[in-house]
Structure 1
């Protein structure tokens, strides 16, 4: 709900003070976000060394305030999952964290219970996200989202299907292109990168040597050539991240960022984008995202309790000073 809708709901069901308004609700919510932002929960019990963890990362954009320097900014979010346990949601605005990799490291080590878990990181191949997982202090296996590859191949199939072949040469070209493109999906599904590259080069060669007899047929091979070039660049920038998607799928292991995209809808879109007309500062969006993640993960109470325990602790430098004063008083009782 928006802050104003929250106030309306509170006034309808609870005897709240009339002085409470949307500004009060917003300030108190963000205050909770400040308290739990840097809180680290105790580590969970160590699992089996063979336990596999999957970190799916995605991002969503929200509109910035009119007076801000940027019109929109990205909130990084996703889920940490392992078979048989509830996935953990996380979210942050990069500009509000000094080190995103450190935050993810703390999240993974806390819930896995070990300093070096078996981790796979699934992303959609965006450059901003690719730079995060190499900074983790333990090994992580990168996986390129298979759905994004499939959608790019699907785009190629649509272009070939739309070819209007009239002459015999054009009909042969369309038939050959359809064969090459249809086999691309099989190559990626079974991690046959060599054959996939060979098929794409055949498509490029055919698009560039065909002599079309109509202007409309000429435009389609040009589009296909451009899209295949994009696919080449996409796979090259994510080299080493493609896997045997068919094998992983049969083993019931994640091969897409679906759980990260659902986190985008749950944490970001439902509150900040869809049917919402607010504009956000990076700080306000970051703190609200912390509260939403804590509620989804059912650890808001535990985080607030950890914050209160931290506030009750005496800082180390103050404790040393008090101990020094006590020792001095015991040595010379009449000096103070």
Structure 2
């Protein structure tokens, strides 16, 4: 033994686990095939058609097992000449659910080539397990999850009716409100015939006020109104929404996100994210402070410019939209008169004010009393959606990876990154059902 060489090496562990896995898989496959040979109706043995060999990929290597095919019972099914392979029921993908789940999880969190390298480094994986295999399994599991959500939303849609608030008005009960923080993210497109990038809708659904757990999130590339609504309702139902309760949608005012509040069950309130409003006022305030400190001729022309901008922000914070619009119009008129001096700061301030005025006018119905909500410890910003964008999309589709994505691939991959994986269990005896966290969607 060399100095410092103690315990089993990775190669030794791979060999031992591969041999042990082969014995376990062969025993389980033989037991399951024998149990399926018994006809459930007459309890007699089915006839044997033939025996073949089937290769099953596992996390500890590929195992070759005996794969019998049983004929249908002629006494119970007269006239039907057919055979079935029981191991196809147990492992339809020729890979164990644990390997499918592990491959898809790694493929959703890191580049496919890197995921394949990690699997080959620590597991007894064959050379054929390349980045193409990782991508195929990740997309396949994502498609199964997408089909599951679609089926669940269709069933729930038949039961969902337009309902109004029937809960008791409990003062200070922050968990009475269901909040959907929604935002968009841009991903570079791999399709040469489409635009350079496309949008993914990212949302986080939960209940409760500031400082509480954010809840579940969903990501979808389908920006149709029914698709976004179904995904939002599915996430809300996971949080306890049954058609009763106040629903609040917080967004940045993008047109693509205004479709959700109009499609949600009533009562649903749409609120513009206060952070986006504040970030549009902040550069105006900085320019005004610079003008006042410089003591230029502009400061003498508009001595109250800093106070006027702060007043607009105060009125928007307290939901006084009409007064804020009036003050903005007066401010822009004063700036327009002073533009003749050719000050660059004045031109920039007028441009920012015009953008803010347009933004406030187009979203005036969604600007509420943020101060009142803040004092009640309710959410006023899309912080949850922003964090979801950073943790889900930026983590996997960051531009530093120099990757481009197809719309279908991005949708399936982001679906794979949902906080919870859940699929109907395979129709096999409980002894052979995969154990969590192995398999659900795999």
**Which bracket does the TM-score occupy, shorter chain normalised?**
0.7 to 0.9
Does the CA contact (< 8 Å) of 2:204 and 2:214 recur in 1? no
Are 1:100 and 2:228 matched, yes or no?
yes
Does the CA contact (< 8 Å) of 2:288 and 2:306 recur in 1? yes
Q: Over the residues paired in the alignment, what is the CA RMSD in angstroms?
A: 2.4
* Aligned counterpart, 1:199: 327
- 1:215-266 Cα offsets, whole Å, 9 max, x none, are 3x2x322322222221111111112111111221122111001110111111
* Aligned counterpart, 2:277: 149
Q: 2:366 aligns with which of 241, 253, 265?
A: 241
* Aligned counterpart, 1:257: 382
1:24 deviates by 0.2
Does the CA contact (< 8 Å) of 2:325 and 2:360 recur in 1? no
Does the CA contact (< 8 Å) of 2:339 and 2:346 recur in 1? no
> Given the two structures, how large is their TM-score scaled by the length of structure 1?
0.80
CA distance, structure 1, for counterparts of residue 273 and residue 246 of structure 2: 19
Gaps of 5+ in 2: 1-109, 157-165, 169-175, 428-442
CA distance, structure 1, for counterparts of residue 200 and residue 397 of structure 2: 11
1:131 deviates by 2.0
1:189 deviates by 1.6
Between structure 1 and structure 2, the one with the greater Rg is 2
Aligned residue for 1:101, secondary structure, equals helix
* Aligned counterpart, 1:324: none
Does the CA contact (< 8 Å) of 1:57 and 1:122 recur in 2? yes
* Aligned counterpart, 2:424: 305
Are 1:115 and 2:252 matched, yes or no?
no
Q: Answer 1 or 2: which has greater helix percent.
A: 1
Structure with higher RCO (Cα < 8 A, 6+ apart): 1
Does the CA contact (< 8 Å) of 1:119 and 1:139 recur in 2? yes
* Aligned counterpart, 1:70: 195
Q: How many residues align?
A: 293
Aligned residue for 1:39, secondary structure, equals helix
Are 1:52 and 2:177 matched, yes or no?
yes
Gaps of 5+ in 1: 310-336
Would the alpha carbon gap of residues 5 and 49 (structure 1) be closer, same or farther in structure 2, given more than 3 Å must change? farther
Would the alpha carbon gap of residues 38 and 97 (structure 1) be closer, same or farther in structure 2, given more than 3 Å must change? farther
Does the CA contact (< 8 Å) of 1:173 and 1:206 recur in 2? no
* Aligned counterpart, 2:89: none
Are 1:268 and 2:393 matched, yes or no?
yes
- Aligned pairs for 1:155-194 within 5 A: 155-163=283-291, 165-167=295-297, 170-194=298-322
Does the CA contact (< 8 Å) of 1:160 and 1:174 recur in 2? no
* Aligned counterpart, 2:253: 125
1:274 deviates by 4.0
1:38 deviates by 2.7
> Given the two structures, how large is their TM-score scaled by the length of structure 2?
0.62
CA distance, structure 1, for counterparts of residue 200 and residue 129 of structure 2: 29
Would the alpha carbon gap of residues 86 and 159 (structure 1) be closer, same or farther in structure 2, given more than 3 Å must change? closer
* Aligned counterpart, 2:345: 220
Would the alpha carbon gap of residues 95 and 234 (structure 1) be closer, same or farther in structure 2, given more than 3 Å must change? closer
